[in-house]
Amino acid sequence: MPFQTAPAHHRFLLGQPWFPSLPAEHQQRLLERTLTQNGHKGEVLLAAGVPVQGWYAVLSGLVKLQSMSSEGRVSAFLGVPDGEWFGEGSTLKTEPRRYDVIALRDTTLLCLPRNLFDELLATSLDFNHFLVAHLNRRLGQAMTIIEAGRVRAPEQRVALYLSRVFWQGRRKLLLSQEELGLLAGLSRQTVNKALQTLEGLGLVSLEFGRVAMLDEQALAAYAHRPAGV
């Protein structure tokens, strides 16, 4: 089947850097057995406390990973845009998911079933290299999450969350102010004011209620500048 007419989840797998090195029969198993799941904006696609079925990626849309403390406090600690994997920790440790996965837009997920994930882990060096690099990025994100929890100006917090969403240089990914507010835990009014400041500094552009990053390095530097500077 030509690449252009293949199903979306097939095109996604074919585009993974570790896929071409797999034996043909292994490639075919992946194409045949990966699953997709559709959900609407606001829907809990994957619930906390449920056994993990596999490793997930966002084929289209945008999701947030949201946890709740024992005191009932909700924390949205990561936004995952299309083209990115998530949930590797629970998949590796074979433990129930610790967070809800909520669609911020109409979203389609891909699920790489656990048995196929384990097979790749045991047999594919390229897959392991990819996974280690992915885990390293997640570690960096975890450190950013800790930093975002400290007291800082809303403009810096928004800059941090933008940097996180655009983690792999996704400069063309557009977010609405509503979506950014849901991820950053800020009101839409606060987000709007912060974005106006960032736009005035030439770090982002605002068009039709959407935001796009203009200068990735400068945005990250602004987010991490010392207080009072």
Among the listed residues 3, 9, 8, the one whose alpha carbon sits nearest the alpha carbon of residue 112: 9
Token look-up 């024992």 returns 70
Q: What is the pLDDT of residues 116-149, one digit of tens each?
A: 999 999 999 999 999 999 998 888 777 776 666 6
Does 136 reside within a domain? yes
Q: Looking at residue 99, which CATH number applies to its domain? A: 2.60.120.10
Token look-up 């045991």 returns 122
Does 228 reside within a domain? no
- pLDDT, position 68: 72
Residue 166, C-beta contacts closer than 8 angstroms, at least 6 positions apart: 173, 213, 216
> Which of 6-15, 79-88, 165-174 has the lowest average pLDDT?
165-174
Q: Residue 101 CB: number of other CB atoms within 10 A?
A: 25
Q: Which position has the higher pLDDT, 22 or 212?
A: 22
For residues 136 and 116, what is the distance between their CA atoms, to the nearest angstrom?
22
Evaluate if pTM is beyond 0.75: yes
In the structure, what pLDDT confidence band is assigned to residue 163 with cuts at 50, 70 and 90?
A: confident
Does 229 reside within a domain? no
Cross-sheet strand order for the sheet of 74-81: 44-46, 100-103, 62-68, 74-81
Domain-terminating residue out of 124, 142, 160: 142
Verify that 23 and 108 share a domain, yes or no. yes
Structural domain tally of the chain? 2
Any idea what the Cα angle at residue 189 is, between residues 63 and 47, rounded to 5°? Answer: 25
Residue 217, C-beta contacts closer than 8 angstroms, at least 6 positions apart: none
Range of the domain at 179: 150-223
Q: Looking at residue 160, which CATH number applies to its domain? A: 1.10.10.10
Contact call for residues 62 and 103 (beta carbons, < 8 A) = yes
